[in-house]
Amino acid sequence: MKSTEFRHPVKVRKYEKYGIICLNLVFIRCMDIAEILELAEDIVFSKTGKHLDRLQKTVLKGTVQGQTYLEIAKNNGFSESHVKNVGHELWHLLSSALGQKVTKSNFSSIFKNLKNNNKFIVSGVCQNNSTFNNINIFTSEEQSPTSPQNYQQTPKQPYIDLGDAPEIFSFFDRTSELSTLENWITQDRTRLIALLGISGIGKTTLALCLIDPIKTQFDYIIYRSLRFSPTLEQYLSKILKIFSELSEIPQNIETQISQTLDYLRKYRCLIILDDVQALFSSNQLAGHYKSGYEDYQLFFKQITEVNHNSCFLLVSSEKLREIAELEKSNSPIHSLVLGSLGLGAKEILSSYQLLESETWETLINIYQGNPLWLNITAALIRELFSCKVADFLQYDMPVLDESLQSRLEQLLGRLTEEEIAVITQLAQETEGVLLSEILNKIKLSNSDLINVIKSLCMRFLLETQEREKITFFTLNPVVAQYVKTRQKHY
């Protein structure tokens, strides 16, 4: 847990009976338990703006008295596991407030060290303007009962765990998209957001760059990738370990989901879940979960239906079927599809020191404003064309670097035979075509063709155009070029 700095005052407590503050919770003689609980509550309140509940106070009282979790549970009519959960949450809160790890076993020794280091005691006498980890405990104004108390809470410093997130070295213009996501999360309190788009379009970069401007709104910010397809049990086990110090995480999926939802209610969390498409089967229509991964669908549905103040941001190159079904005008769920980076992509070309900037817009349009595709192509131009974009554009476009072809093969490798048949046909078209025209050229039933078209749109390989209230379909030009190249090799 990162150290958190506090500058706001904590409600004053006068210990006139004893004249000093003694925080060694093992050898306490000059403070009774009630006073310890009051002080602990003030410290926690300074961090969270919330008071300790009855069971948290009971656990703290039992700890001061040297009781085990089992003894606390038996004496108060709770299960041992529940008391452990509450206890570990309590130590987590104190750890965050004090800026160091607090556990049941080291609780008293930490406060003893604070005493010995004179952070609360100066020669055994309470001093005016004493501070504790930048928490102002006593001020001259607060010692006067007639002085008004001015309480101002500083922004929260969340616990941030980015896990296996890639390091972001540059972020190009996505101002509009960033603003939309911020509003959905901070103003609309959206519970689930799907950030979608074709591979390489910049979804992960945008999600990670979203963290800094909104981080003070949250208690926890967690990033995890599903690229290696963990089961929901495996994923939730890792998430629960972040919230709790329990050595044993429940293996029952229903209990894991229930506990996770409890934490989403207790804390305001932003959880970014990347590479969600890894949960879906290859060689099936888009959005079909792999066998054994169907629990994710139930979990995502519960995230939208259960009342809480947290937000899940799902990042995927395939649209989730449940998003389309659950997304309504007044529902706590939204989706954002990333398109071309537009002229903001000029920064990418500039970073490769490409020449002839007047040709850059043409290059950006050819490669659909896709940051990954442009990075690969810009590197090719620098290496083989001495950074001269005009020389590169003399060739039939788009030219596909081997690395780019490999990326595109990964996309096509997920498709069904019917999807391959449709995109192969569309690759030959020079203009958008109607659904009925595709049906005349492909031997599929109406239902099968509609499902295939829908699936290709969910993978962001097909684009739609509206002309006089008629929908035309076109294949992504870069994908179309690769399909033609691919055919020559088969």
The residue to which tokens 């338990």 are assigned: 33
What pLDDT, on the 0 to 100 scale, is given for residue 111?
Answer: 59
The residues, ordered by sequence, that sit 6+ positions from 69 with a Cβ below 8 Å of its Cβ are 59, 80, 83, 84, 87, 104
Worst-scoring range by mean pLDDT, 104-113, 274-283, 318-327, 335-344? 104-113
For the chain, the average pLDDT equals 81
Question: What is d(CA 237, CA 250) in angstroms, rounded to the nearest whole number?
Answer: 8
Percentage of the chain lying above the pLDDT 90 cut: 54
The answer to whether 412 and 384 are in contact (CB under 8 A) is no
pLDDT of 3 over the 60 cut = no
C-alpha pair distances (Å), 319 with each of 194, 276, 324, 460, 470? 8, 9, 8, 9, 24
State the first-to-last Cα distance of the chain, in angstroms, to the nearest integer.
55
User: Would you say 369 and 398 are in contact if contact means Cβ atoms under 8 Å apart?
Assistant: no
pLDDT at 81: 60
pLDDT tens by residue, 73-119: 777 766 666 677 677 778 777 777 777 778 887 776 665 565 555 44
Q: Indicate if the pLDDT at residue 15 is higher than 50.
A: no
Residue 391 has pLDDT above 50, yes or no: yes
Task: Give the DSSP letter string of 376-391.
Answer: HHHHHHHHHSTTBHHH
Assign 3-class secondary structure to 63-81.
HHCCCCHHHHHHHHCCCHH
The phi and psi torsions of 36 (rounded to 5 degrees) equal -65, -45
Query: Per-residue pLDDT for 153 more than 90?
Result: no
Quick check: 144 pLDDT over 50? no
Band of pLDDT at residue 324, cut at 50, 70 and 90: confident
Main-chain phi, psi angles of 480, to 5 degrees = -60, -45
Round to whole Å and give the CA distance between 348 and 244.
Answer: 42
Average pLDDT over residues 362-383: 97
Residue 397 has a CB neighbour count (10 Å cut-off) of: 16
Is residue 205 scored above 50 in pLDDT?
Answer: yes
Do β-strands 311-316 and 333-337 pair in parallel, antiparallel, or remain unpaired?
unpaired
pLDDT of 130 > 50? The answer is no
Residue 409 near residue 478, CB atoms below 8 Å: no
Q: What is the mean pLDDT of residues 354-360?
A: 96
Residue 40: predicted pLDDT: 76
For the chain, list the domains and their CATH numbers: 33-116 (1.10.10), 159-337 (3.40.50.300), 347-367+377-399 (no CATH), 410-488 (1.10.10.10)
- Average pLDDT rounded to a whole number, residues 66-73: 83
Of 478 and 13, the structure prediction assigns the larger pLDDT to 478
Interval 365-389 mean pLDDT: 97
Mean local confidence (pLDDT), 368-395: 97
C-beta separation of 81 from 70 below 8 A: no
- Position 6 scores a pLDDT of 35
Per residue in 426-446, pLDDT (tens digit) is: 999 989 999 999 989 898 999
Please give the pLDDT value at position 129.
Answer: 36
Local structure of 192: helix, strand or coil: strand
Beta-strand ranges (E) seen in 242-362 are 269-274, 311-316, 333-337
- Per-residue burial over 404-430, b = 16 or more CB atoms within 10 Å of its CB, e = otherwise: beebbeebbebbbebbebbbbbbbebe
Closest CA to 223 of 171, 167, 305: 167
Give the per-residue pLDDT at 290.
Answer: 95
Q: Is the pLDDT of residue 386 over 70?
A: yes
Give 41's contacts (C-beta < 8 A, 6+ positions apart).
Answer: 51, 52, 57
- pLDDT tens column, 252-261: 899 999 999 9
